[in-house]
Amino acid sequence: MSTKWWQNEIVYQIYPRSFQDTNHDGIGDIQGMIDHLDYIQELGVTMIWVSPIYKSPMVDMGYDIADYQDIDPQFGSLDEFKVFLSEAKKRHIKVIMDLVVNHTSDQHEWFKQALADPKSKYRDYFIFKTTDDGDVPNNWRSIFGGSTWEPVADEPNTFYFHTFAPQQPDLNWENPALRQEIYQMINWWLELGVAGFRVDAITHLKKDLDWASLPADGSDGLVSVIKKGQNRPGIDVFLNELKQETFDKYDAITVGEAYGVPEKDLKKYIGPNGYFSMIFDFSYMNIDVLNTDEWYRGRSQWTVKDLREALFESQQVAGQVHGTLANVLENHDQPRVLSKLVPDKHDQTPTAAKALATMYYFLPGVPFIYQGQEIGMKNFVRKDISEFNDVSSINNYQMALKDGYSKESALASINDKSRDNARVPMQWNDSKFAGFSDTEPWLGMGNDREGIDVQTELADENSVLNYYKKLGQLHHDLAWQSVTTTGDFQPIDSLPENVIGYQRILDGQVLTVFVNLSHELAEFDAHNVGDRLEKVGDITIDNDHVKMAGYSAVVMGLNAN
Ligand code: NOJ
């Protein structure tokens, strides 16, 4: 397997708004990110992904960009960002930005010009359509609900297209001039010293140009935009060009948010000459819901077997194309993993958080840690929809009511799945605002946080935080680094149904991981697994017989060299 400069990275995702406020406005900022670089470094982290800090009206919390080359004053300034870059560099930490080029904000200068003057060159930077009868051009449903078409004020029968919220007009990638502007902007950031990008919503760049309606798939008479605007034929032209004109020139690292890539196309995405360095493994991200766009439809009855199969299948398929996956338990779009993958509240313990960490940390690919995951943060429970900020949570709630669900059941689904679960302020200590801010934060604090904060956990050698540090050390341990990074992946079959087990194998070295993801005792035999490198919970191994208490995990290492 070829080696890449980024293959040993451990990545930490900062959601700046909720990380650390230093200027007393209840919103996190760049100075707050600078202040915690030592903390991040101690986790073994070598790269930081910064969620959008560009100028934005924040309808979708920065994923609606009004100026690609400026920092929103809520977060600080470009100069402060440069300080962040150089302070990170001193600690051997690279920085990747979030690249959101499927759409802008409706407050972007290009879009304002496109509206102000239909003859301006910017009109064709976006997607406008006029219909004869004043009906919307087709029945596609946007990801956040409702039609993908928004009427243009003062222009009868005219609409613009948006895959996400109406305030996020899609860019028209069919236009070569637009593409060139985007490439220049990307290269400007790379010149500034960022190591690469997490690439947002990238499989949406190409839409079917017949713009044809399809049979409805919901009671609203609409059909999900993903059927006509995700991974559509022709997207390869855009993605190849994007790579050649930008990333390749700088040997940049890119992590695609690439929902819906069919197995047959995976090679094009992450094979040796793929569009991206890696893409996120989302195979099990939405295992907890029946429908990923309409969460209100309820939770799925997933099993550990389903989770194991999803995890292993994506690793095996990625291995076949010699591609790398970005391994994630959490991000800013998902509930907290402890709440999601541990169904019984009583089991949502620090031990379970550590077991989950063990499960994904040694998979082939690059581990990503989302802020707060490393201390075992959990979901919150809100009593009223007014306590939510996230545009998609609020839309889902409204859709549920329209669909006849009661307020209680709509709220219960939103509490379970809302993106705000991950967006509550980071818990640095046990004070009122958790050391995040000294004033009321922009989003309410989590309400299940006793014992779950950095200060408390630093003082406890058995804490989730200290366990993540140990995992970081093991990941970088020179004795095991090669096998962790490039070892073959081998699932272990014939284990009890709630145990996930796999091996990484390279030149006589074998790393074995067992995780019991249930509260029941699990027993099985395991041969030639070597010595214990890390352990979570009660585990005995006697004459090759393994006994694992509920929510326990172990990493074993065998070195025949
Ligand atoms: C994916 C981002 O992670 C999410 O937060 C955002 O709402 C959409 N893309 C639209 O940019």
| pLDDT at residue 561, rounded to an integer | 76
Residue whose entry in the numeric block shows the structure tokens 């990493």: 555
Distance (Å) from CA 434 to ligand 1 centroid = 27
pLDDT tens for each residue of 341-350:
999 999 999 9
- Is 200 an annotated catalytic residue? yes
Residue of 164, 368, 421 to mutate, ligand 1, most atoms within 8 A of C-beta:
164
pTM over 0.95: yes
- Ligand 1, atom 11, lies closest to the CA of 63
**CA angle (163 as vertex; 160, 168 as ends), nearest 5:** 65
The minimum-distance atom of ligand 1 relative to the CA of 392 is: 7
With a Cβ cut-off of 6 Å, ligand 1 is lined by 60, 63, 100, 164, 200-201, 257, 332-333
The closest-lying atom of ligand 1 relative to the alpha carbon of residue 391 is 7
Structure tokens at 405: 């669900």
Counting atoms of ligand 1 from 1, which one is nearest the CA of 103? Answer: 11
Q: Which residues of the chain have pLDDT under 50?
A: none
Q: How far is the CA of 201 from the centre of ligand 1 (A)?
A: 7
Q: How far is the CA of 61 from the centre of ligand 1 (A)?
A: 9
Q: Which of 63, 96, 226, 332 for a ligand 1 pocket mutation test, highest count of atoms within 8 Å of Cβ? A: 63
Q: What is d(CA 283, CA 309) in angstroms, rounded to the nearest whole number?
A: 9
Which residue in 304, 98, 80 sits closest to 194, CA to CA? 98
Ligand 1 atom showing the smallest separation from residue 64 Cα:
11
Atom index in ligand 1 nearest the CA of residue 257 equals 1
pLDDT at residue 2, rounded to an integer: 60
Distance CA 545, CA 383 (A): 48
Pick the closest to residue 318 from 238, 384, 256, 229 (CA basis).
Answer: 256
Which of 64, 106, 150, 257 is an active site residue?
Answer: 257
Q: For residues 196 and 436, what is the distance between their CA atoms, to the nearest angstrom?
A: 28
Give the DSSP H or E segment for 536.
strand 531-536
3-state secondary structure of 69: strand
Distance 400 CA to ligand 1 centre (A): 21
Q: What is the pLDDT of residue 293?
A: 78
Which residue is catalytic, options 29, 150, 170, 200?
200
CA of 200 to the centre of ligand 1 (A): 6
Do 68 and 19 contact (CB within 8 A), yes or no? no
Residue 50 CA to ligand 1 centre (angstroms): 13
Task: Select from 112, 22, 97, 12 the least CA-distant residue to 63.
Answer: 97
